[in-house]
């Protein structure tokens, strides 16, 4: 194995992004892709990555992007586009200061959200004209509920726009169970359904149609489910990922792991299955539900212990001012710290701690 590549700290795109994926797959580790909805989340992710000396992926769902722009903004499509752009600009401005490499990505976009992706690409093209670099490292297009023909032809069309900017596309084959931001279904009976397990033949077809156009990654389904459910409801079968890698490698070469694989619905997964998935070439594991809970739990504990400060400006018993307790910096910071602690665990589970390529 050659010495790991060194990259400039900050947002990574294009060749640097591909080098980062290769380093993950060669080194047998993966990066957490953390959903954020505001600057508190972004700053906590950057802080956690710096603390763990790991690179990291910051991502926004369409709902997260809309929230970032402000729920009061009337035009929902514009809010989704501009919220994501604003978050990306925040990361571009700060990431370098944290001394790690940061991938910027957007999460699930189904058929109805194609205009959201196209809107962000428009801003990406504008950013590229100004700086010679794209705004985001990659976007996701999740057309797994459509026919495979439509899924792949749309992905090809969008990738043709992304490739000249040095951007990558994440696609979904097979369906991640559960529901996230109104996309997908809560129906857990689906856990036994064959479409929850991606077919290697579909992955091979995607590889043959998309790799001549540009770089892409695959969110493959191996029983993974969004959200956290009671144990026993989900049966993860990471070996399905290995079957797709082998089939593509057998037909087209590209080493043992020709595919860049993504693990959706990582929250609440058994550590052993996470490690197996990473061994089969998963370089990115999405985490949302667990970091949401970590943020809420830390703030919730503080609010319950300091109830008076969330009802009165002056303590009705002691007559003392409570400003220091209800100052948002006090409790939002606790939320950030809770998120950092949960991410410490994610960096360890994924084997990413200490492996930052920034230098």
Residue 107 annotated in active site: yes
Helix (H, G, I), strand (E, B) or coil at 340: helix
Name the minimum Å distance from CB 174 to Zn ion: 12
The secondary element (H helix, E strand) that includes residue 286 is strand 282-287
Nearest residue relative to Zn ion (C-beta): 264
| 288 versus 336: smaller Cβ distance to Zn ion | 288
Measured CA to CA, the distance from residue 39 to residue 68 in angstroms comes to 8
142 annotated to a ligand binding site: yes
Q: Which of 55, 107, 181, 349 is catalytic?
A: 107
- Please enumerate in sequence order all residues whose Cβ is within 8 A of that of 152, keeping only pairs 6 or more positions apart, or say none: 171, 205, 206, 209, 210
Residue with tokens 């109830």: 307
Residue with tokens 């992304």: 162
108 annotated to a ligand binding site: yes
Residues in contact with Zn ion, counted by CB under 5 A, come to a total of: 1
Measured CA to CA, the distance from residue 41 to residue 295 in angstroms comes to 9
Residues in 244-303 that interact with Zn ion by CB under 5 A: 264
| 264 versus 284: smaller Cβ distance to Zn ion | 264
52 annotated to a ligand binding site: no
Beta strand pairing call for 183-185 and 178-180: antiparallel
Name the minimum Å distance from CB 357 to Zn ion: 25
- CA 86 from chain center: how many Å? 17
Measured CA to CA, the distance from residue 340 to residue 330 in angstroms comes to 16
Are 36 and 29 contacting, i.e. CB atoms less than 8 angstroms apart?
no
Residues in 213-242 that interact with Zn ion by CB under 5 A: none
174 annotated to a ligand binding site: no
| 13 versus 289: smaller Cβ distance to Zn ion | 289
| 161 versus 264: smaller Cβ distance to Zn ion | 264
Is residue 139 near Zn ion by the rule CB under 5 A? Answer: no
Name the minimum Å distance from CB 328 to Zn ion: 30
Q: Active-site residue numbers?
A: 107
Residues in binding site: 108, 142, 172, 226-227, 264-267, 286-289
Binding interface with Zn ion (CB under 5 A) = 264
């Amino acid at each position: 194995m050659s010495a790991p590549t060194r990259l400039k700290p900050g947002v990574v795109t294009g060749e640097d992004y591909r080098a980062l994926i290769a380093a993950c797959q060669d080194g047998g580790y993966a990066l957490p892709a953390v959903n954020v909805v505001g600057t508190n989340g972004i700053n906590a992710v950057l802080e956690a990555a710096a603390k763990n000396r790991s690179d990291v992926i910051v991502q926004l769902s369409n709902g997260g992007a809309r929230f970032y722009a402000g729920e009061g903004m009337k035009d929902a499509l514009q809010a989704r586009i501009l919220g994501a752009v604003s978050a990306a600009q925040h990361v571009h401005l700060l990431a370098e200061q944290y001394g790690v490499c940061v991938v910027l990505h957007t999460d699930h976009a189904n058929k109805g959200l194609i205009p959201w992706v196209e809107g962000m690409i428009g801003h990406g093209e504008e950013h590229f004209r100004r700086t010679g670099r794209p705004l985001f490292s990659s976007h996701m297009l999740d057309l797994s509920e459509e026919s495979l023909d439509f899924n792949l032809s749309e992905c090809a069309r969008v990738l043709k726009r992304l490739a000249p900017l040095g951007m990558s596309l994440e696609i979904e084959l097979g369906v991640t169970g559960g529901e996230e931001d109104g996309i997908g279904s809560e129906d857990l009976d689906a856990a036994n359904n064959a479409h929850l397990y991606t077919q290697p033949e579909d992955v091979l077809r995607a590889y043959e149609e998309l790799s001549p156009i540009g770089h892409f990654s695959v969110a493959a389904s191996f029983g993974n489910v969004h959200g956290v459910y009671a144990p026993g409801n989900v049966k993860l079968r990471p070996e399905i990922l290995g079957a797709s890698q082998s089939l593509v490698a057998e037909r087209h070469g590209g080493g043992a792991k020709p595919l860049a694989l993504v693990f959706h619905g990582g929250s609440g997964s058994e550590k052993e299955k996470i490690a197996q998935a990473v061994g089969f070439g998963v370089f990115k594991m999405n985490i949302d539900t667990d970091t949401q809970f970590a943020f809420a739990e830390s703030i919730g504990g503080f609010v319950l212990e300091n109830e008076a400060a969330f009802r009165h400006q002056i303590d009705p018993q002691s007559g003392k001012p409570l400003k220091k307790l209800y100052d948002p910096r006090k409790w939002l910071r606790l939320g950030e710290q809770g998120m950092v602690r949960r991410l410490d665990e994610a960096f360890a589970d994924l084997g990413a701690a200490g492996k930052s390529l920034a230098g």
